[in-house]
Structure 1
Amino acid sequence: MRILKIKDCFFIGVFLFGIQQIGVAQTGKVNIQQDSNIPNLLEIKTAMTKDGKLGERYKIQLYYGDNNSASDVIKKFRSQYSEWPSQIIYETPNYKVWIGNFRNRLEADRALIKIKGDFPSAFIPKPQRG
């Protein structure tokens, strides 16, 4: 019976030692060293994402053709709708009138439904990656 108690004490001692070692292992310190440019780069990325220069963005194309007609279409659009940005893009040899800067297809589809009555040829082209 005395041998059984010595074994029990041994196992209890090993168990307590293991728990103590786990506690010591979890109190270590982590030192992180990062380049000083990382916060600046994150700010630039955030600004570019907000401006729509980074990532996939959806636009609605209202017109594709000559410059004079493109100017007329964008004037008509700006007089009726002021909630979305509009721009004329030159792609040799024609001009495109694009509106909006939508984050997802759902937003672009909702806007397209609103303007489809005034601009029946409007559509959503496949987004280009920024």
Structure 2
Amino acid sequence: MRILRVFFAIGITVLSISEIGAQNKNVVVNEPTKVTELVEYKKKHNNNISTNDKFRLQIFYGKGSEAKQALASFRSLHPEIDATITYSTPSYKVMAGNFKTRIEAERNLKIVKKSFPNTLLIRPGR
């Protein structure tokens, strides 16, 4: 019994003094250089893209119930153009399209103005 206590005490002493490998603060990550190159390429590419440089059409501005009606009417007349309702205190807006160029936006503005004469061409974020 005494020998068991001695071995136990020696074991605890050795474990408490020795350095355990899992407790090192150094972490080594091995990744291929191709991954690093792709991440850097993606960062550069994303910096060139600006989400606020798009043109949109404002179809309606007013109460929420009327905005829902205007959105439903717009979607039935122009299913090829994406539209959504946004809230801008204290009213709602029906916004349509996400055009890259002003020419493309103006072309669609002419088409939409036939059914929604109060449509405006805007550039959000500016």
- Does TM, scored on the shorter chain, surpass 0.5? yes
C-alpha contact (below 8 Å) 2:52/2:124 kept by paired residues: no
The alignment of Structure 1 onto Structure 2 pairs a total of residues equal to: 92
**Alpha-carbon deviation of 1:90?**
0.4
SS at match of 1:124: strand
> Distance between the aligned counterparts of 1:78 and 1:66, measured in 2?
18
C-alpha contact (below 8 Å) 1:57/1:128 kept by paired residues: no
Q: Runs of 5+ in structure 1 lacking a partner?
A: 1-32
SS at match of 2:58: strand
Match of 2:66 in 1: 69
Q: 1:101 aligns with which of 98, 102, 111?
A: 98
Match of 1:122 in 2: 119
Structure 1 residues 94 and 103: alpha-carbon distance in aligned structure 2, compared to 1, 3 A threshold: same
- Show CA shifts across 1:38-64 (max 9, x none): 134356x29x95xxx624100000100
Match of 1:91 in 2: 88
> Distance between the aligned counterparts of 1:81 and 1:40, measured in 2?
35
**Alpha-carbon RMSD:** 2.8
Aligned-residue identity in percent: 31
> Distance between the aligned counterparts of 1:64 and 1:95, measured in 2?
6
Structure 1 residues 42 and 124: alpha-carbon distance in aligned structure 2, compared to 1, 3 A threshold: same
> Distance between the aligned counterparts of 2:40 and 2:81, measured in 1?
33
**Alpha-carbon deviation of 1:125?**
1.9
Which runs of at least 4 in structure 1 moved beyond 6 Å after TM superposition?
Answer: none
**Alpha-carbon deviation of 1:84?**
1.2
Q: Runs of 5+ in structure 2 lacking a partner?
A: 1-32
Match of 1:4 in 2: none
**TM-score, normalised via structure 1 length:** 0.61
SS at match of 2:103: helix
